[in-house]
């Protein structure tokens, strides 16, 4: 009989219970016992919701990040948190979030600690805390977290399959802080993994899921050899290993994966089935093949009939050696579609969230075990929903399709090259050296959230809401003028989210109420649902920006989210190429850019925070993506005059290897996040002469730490070794919506003071 299992479950809770518990704990308003009790209750509920599966993941729950959990399991803590008083949870959050020297937030002792570097988990919008290594790194097992969760699961009668990150992926995703070879640590690391697996075996565990998604990327001979070394050493452990890959195909790594001495192999087949037959031919006759047949990354219903057509012959051939599961952990999708009763019923009928995806697996499993007739009604309902979606006139807009077909390559070109534009912009804006600005948002206060919720509930009318938002905008402008920032922003008080805000005003989008997905730690996003062709019925930001500009003589930035980021941070329709949807978005944002310019806005920021996130995991496929992504940005940005200064912003990601494409975007100014890496991300500019202006972030807004003036000056002087000083801006890493005014004002005051010091020098 086919085994049905899951690779991971959303941990934040259907109503973001973990988020609120974490933030209450960090503020000192809740005890550790309260926080841990929320964790216990969430795990219990999530295991209940996965009942009926043959194997259920345990260890996929984390208070912040599963990679950080693995670092603590392996005893790999950064040196800067050694020696602090407090328990493991104190240190856990020190690494995750940092700790200010004032010790004003959270629990445990005082003392300044820098947060761990954060970057994207493969090509998703989930951020992980980067493991840190050096030549002296040692590992020591601490299995307490896994053992505690395993005991809870056992008491609940859960058929547990512990989940851990594999040793090669763990090393590959980490960073060597002294440039030493990461693979040199493998001999020290493997005994700890072996001890962990034997410890789990001692608890009666039969199967352990070992996640090695790095296998879907291009690996050189050294890393391929490391896989053989690792798993031949671990094969003596007393548990069965299910090696899990996801987010792509194995391709040339298929032979390597099939021949590793593990009991089973999981592959993602939601995008392609090219790996399946070669793997079956290579797998030893005792090995399990697990197929990820339901997407763990998108929210559209699975074509169950098509899946059965593909896997029924495999089930006949493999028998109980065939397992089925989601393609990856369900961490990347919301919990329950049943909570979305306000969503348009037609659109809701096309969707499946985490619980519904598990239902799809149960239908597939029953069909394989009992025959299709046992689930005939479910299959018929599934076919009807898919057919209705294909035929719906709400999905297809001929006018939008005609506009995309009519795009002229000249639409993506500025009138003049950057040097000429820079001269004209300098004459118009009259900015000082090292100009200061912020990325866009200011704190989303309790008053802002109350006004938004009251307006949404109908208890605050449009006029009252507008008045409340204008008051918050006026506050942001006053604070910025008092701080003496050079280029101001309106603060984005009216925006719930940088993507959702725009999606709500575009045709072709739908929105959930509880469709939250974890981005990092307690930060959750609610991706809009891009279901049809995209158009902009009316201006989206002009009124708010015009009002903000009326309050100051300083330049006011118009703030927009770019087409690539809107695409990558949405649940995107799967019935046409992503490039087509991106061009539709670019045309809509282009209209907004031109309207802002017509309203007198001379600085316009178009954030492409997620540009790198959309990169295919294989370099051979990068060029095609970057071509249409850069084209889409240029299409939306480059209809303006030379005098209008175009900014863009990019979030935590390693972008050194795509710097030429970033330069090809031809934004006048780019702001990037570099403070957590201590400006290491700027090393690329030793070789690449970036042609335009750049603002390397100097204030890590994801940490409560307040940067000192001296620290910012040091960072900027490091940056000036890579970028000519006359082309440098001074700015935070990212938007400030998640911070409080009490942190923001002193941090920005130090930033402005640092800029003045730099000018004087």
Q: Determine whether the annotation assigns residue 159 to a binding site.
A: no
Residue 378 CB neighbours (<10 A): 18
Encoding tokens for residue 112? 């300044």
Residue 40 CB neighbours (<10 A): 13
Distance separating alpha carbons of residues 520 and 119, to the nearest angstrom: 10
Q: Determine whether the annotation assigns residue 686 to a binding site.
A: no
Q: Determine whether the annotation assigns residue 647 to a binding site.
A: no
Q: What are residue 128's phi and psi, to 5 degrees?
A: -120, 155
Distance separating alpha carbons of residues 681 and 653, to the nearest angstrom: 9
- DSSP-derived letter for residue 121 is S
Residue 144 near residue 150 (C-beta atoms within 8 A): no
Residues 6+ apart with CB under 8 A from 667: 606, 633, 637, 646, 647, 648, 692
Nearest to 241, CA basis, from 265, 211, 263, 266: 263
Q: Can you say whether residue 234 is alpha, beta or left, with left for phi > 0 and alpha for psi between -120 and 50 degrees?
A: alpha
Residue 535 near residue 561 (C-beta atoms within 8 A): no
Q: Determine whether the annotation assigns residue 299 to a binding site.
A: no
Compute the Cα dihedral for 251, 253, 259, 260 and give only its sign.
negative
Q: Determine whether the annotation assigns residue 613 to a binding site.
A: yes
Q: Which long-range contacts (CB under 8 A, 24 or more apart) does 218-222 make?
A: 218/252, 218/618, 218/619, 218/620, 219/253, 219/256, 222/183
Q: Determine whether the annotation assigns residue 111 to a binding site.
A: no
Residue 70 near residue 170 (C-beta atoms within 8 A): yes
Q: Determine whether the annotation assigns residue 651 to a binding site.
A: yes
Q: Determine whether the annotation assigns residue 673 to a binding site.
A: yes
Residues 6+ apart with CB under 8 A from 649: 439, 440, 605, 607, 608, 609, 670, 671, 672, 734
Residue 138 near residue 47 (C-beta atoms within 8 A): no
Q: Determine whether the annotation assigns residue 132 to a binding site.
A: no
Q: DSSP string of 408-458? A: -GGGG--SS-HHHHHHHHHHHH---SS-B---SB----HHHHHHHHHHHTT
Q: Determine whether the annotation assigns residue 273 to a binding site.
A: no
Torsion of CA 63, 68, 71, 75, to 10 degrees: -50
Residues 6+ apart with CB under 8 A from 92: 63, 64, 68, 72
Q: Determine whether the annotation assigns residue 524 to a binding site.
A: yes
Distance separating alpha carbons of residues 428 and 425, to the nearest angstrom: 5
Residue 633 near residue 675 (C-beta atoms within 8 A): no
Q: Determine whether the annotation assigns residue 607 to a binding site.
A: yes
Encoding tokens for residue 210? 């070992």
Q: Determine whether the annotation assigns residue 311 to a binding site.
A: no
Residue 227 near residue 255 (C-beta atoms within 8 A): no
Compute the Cα dihedral for 329, 331, 336, 342 and give only its sign.
negative
Angle at 534 between CA 532 and CA 537, to 5 degrees: 125
Q: Determine whether the annotation assigns residue 82 to a binding site.
A: no
702 counts as catalytic: yes
Q: Determine whether the annotation assigns residue 280 to a binding site.
A: no
Catalytic one of 127, 266, 647, 702:
702
Q: Determine whether the annotation assigns residue 120 to a binding site.
A: yes
Distance separating alpha carbons of residues 459 and 470, to the nearest angstrom: 18
Q: Determine whether the annotation assigns residue 734 to a binding site.
A: yes
Q: Which long-range contacts (CB under 8 A, 24 or more apart) does 386-390 make?
A: 386/301, 386/303, 386/350, 388/346, 388/349, 388/350, 389/349, 389/350, 389/575, 390/575
Longest Cα–Cα distance of the chain, Å, equals 80
Q: Determine whether the annotation assigns residue 569 to a binding site.
A: yes
Distance separating alpha carbons of residues 85 and 194, to the nearest angstrom: 30
Nearest to 436, CA basis, from 486, 402, 396, 399: 486
Binding residues: 16-19, 120, 439-441, 492, 523-524, 569, 607, 613, 649, 651, 673, 734
Binding residues for 5-methyltetrahydropteroyltri-L-glutamate: 16-19, 120, 523-524, 569, 613
Binding residues for L-methionine: 439-441, 492, 607
Binding residues for Zn(2+): 649, 651, 673, 734
Binding residues for L-homocysteine: 439-441, 492, 607
Task: Kindly list the catalytic residues.
Answer: 702
């Amino acid at each position: 009989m086919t085994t049905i299992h899951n690779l991971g479950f959303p941990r934040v809770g259907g109503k973001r219970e973990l988020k609120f518990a974490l933030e209450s704990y960090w503020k000192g308003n809740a005890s550790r016992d309260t926080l841990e009790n929320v964790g216990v209750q969430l795990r219990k509920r999530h295991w209940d919701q996965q009942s009926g599966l043959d194997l259920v993941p345990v260890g996929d729950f984390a208070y912040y990040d599963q990679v950080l959990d693995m670092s603590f399991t392996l005893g790999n803590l950064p040196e800067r948190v050694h020696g602090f008083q407090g328990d493991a949870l104190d240190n856990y959050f020190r690494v995750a979030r940092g700790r200010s020297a004032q010790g004003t937030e959270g629990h445990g002792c005082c003392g300044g600690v820098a947060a761990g570097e954060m970057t994207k988990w493969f090509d998703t919008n989930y951020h992980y805390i980067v493991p840190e290594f050096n030549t002296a790194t040692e590992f020591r097992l601490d299995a307490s977290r896994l053992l505690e969760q395993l005991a809870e699961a056992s008491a609940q009668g859960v058929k547990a399959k512990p989940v851990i990150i594999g040793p090669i992926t763990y090393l590959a995703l980490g960073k060597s802080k002294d440039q030493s070879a990461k693979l040199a640590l493998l001999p020290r690391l493997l005994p700890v993994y072996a001890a962990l697996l034997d410890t789990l075996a001692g608890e009666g565990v039969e199967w352990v899921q070992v996640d090695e998604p790095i296998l879907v990327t291009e690996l050189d001979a050294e890393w391929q050899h490391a896989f053989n070394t690792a798993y031949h050493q671990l094969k003596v452990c007393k548990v069965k290993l299910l090696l899990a890959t996801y987010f792509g195909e194995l391709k040339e790594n298929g032979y390597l994966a099939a021949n590793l001495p593990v009991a089973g192999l999981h592959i993602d087949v939601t995008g392609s089935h090219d790996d399946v037959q070669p793997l079956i031919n290579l797998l030893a006759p005792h090995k399990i093949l697990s197929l990820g047949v339901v997407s763990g990354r998108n929210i559209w219903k699975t074509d169950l009939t098509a899946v059965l057509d593909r896997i029924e012959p495999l089930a006949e051939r493999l028998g109980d050696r065939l397992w089925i599961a989601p393609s990856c952990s369900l961490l990347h999708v919301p919990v329950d579609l049943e909570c979305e009763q306000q969503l348009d019923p037609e659109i809701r009928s096309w969707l499946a969230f985490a619980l519904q995806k598990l239902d799809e697996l149960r239908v597939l499993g029953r069909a394989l075990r009992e025959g299709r007739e046992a689930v005939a009604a479910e299959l018929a309902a599934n076919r009807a929903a898919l057919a209705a979606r294909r035929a719906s006139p709400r999905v297809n807009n001929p006018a939008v399709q005609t506009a995309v077909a009519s795009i002229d390559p000249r639409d993506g070109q500025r009138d003049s090259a950057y040097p000429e534009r820079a001269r004209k912009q300098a004459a118009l804006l009259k900015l000082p050296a090292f100009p200061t600005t912020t990325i866009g948002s200011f704190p989303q206060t309790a008053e802002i959230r109350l006004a938004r919720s009251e307006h949404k509930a109908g208890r605050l009318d449009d006029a009252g809401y507008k008045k409340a938002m204008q008051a918050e905008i006026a506050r942001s402008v006053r604070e910025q003028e008092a701080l003496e920032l050079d280029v101001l922003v309106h603060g984005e008080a009216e925006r719930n989210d940088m993507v959702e805000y725009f999606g709500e005003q575009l045709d072709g989008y739908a929105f959930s109420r509880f469709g939250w997905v974890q981005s990092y730690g307690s930060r959750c996003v609610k991706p809009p649902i891009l279901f049809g062709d995209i158009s902009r019925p009316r201006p989206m930001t002009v009124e708010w920006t015009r009002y903000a500009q009326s309050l100051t003589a300083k330049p006011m930035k118009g703030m927009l989210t770019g087409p690539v980021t809107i695409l990558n941070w949405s649940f995107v329709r799967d019935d046409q190429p992503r490039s087509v949807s991106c061009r539709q978005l670019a045309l809509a944002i282009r209209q907004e850019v031109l309207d802002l310019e017509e309203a007198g806005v001379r600085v316009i920021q178009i954030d492409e925070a997620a540009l790198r996130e959309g990169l295919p995991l294989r370099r051979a496929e990068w060029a095609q993506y970057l071509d249409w992504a850069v084209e889409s940005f240029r299409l939306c940005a480059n209809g303006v005059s030379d005098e209008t200064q175009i900014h863009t912003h990019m979030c935590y990601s390693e972008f050194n290897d795509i710097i030429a494409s970033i330069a090809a975007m031809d934004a006048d100014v780019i702001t990037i996040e570099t403070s957590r890496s201590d400006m290491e991300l700027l090393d690329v500019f030793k070789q690449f002469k970036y042609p335009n202006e750049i603002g390397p972030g100097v204030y890590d807004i994801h940490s409560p730490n307040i940067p000192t003036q001296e620290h910012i000056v040091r960072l900027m002087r490091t940056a000036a070794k890579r970028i000519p000083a006359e082309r440098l801006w001074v700015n935070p890493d990212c938007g400030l919506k998640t911070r409080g005014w009490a942190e923001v004002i002193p941090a920005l005051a130090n930033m402005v003071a640092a800029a003045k010091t730099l000018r004087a020098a």
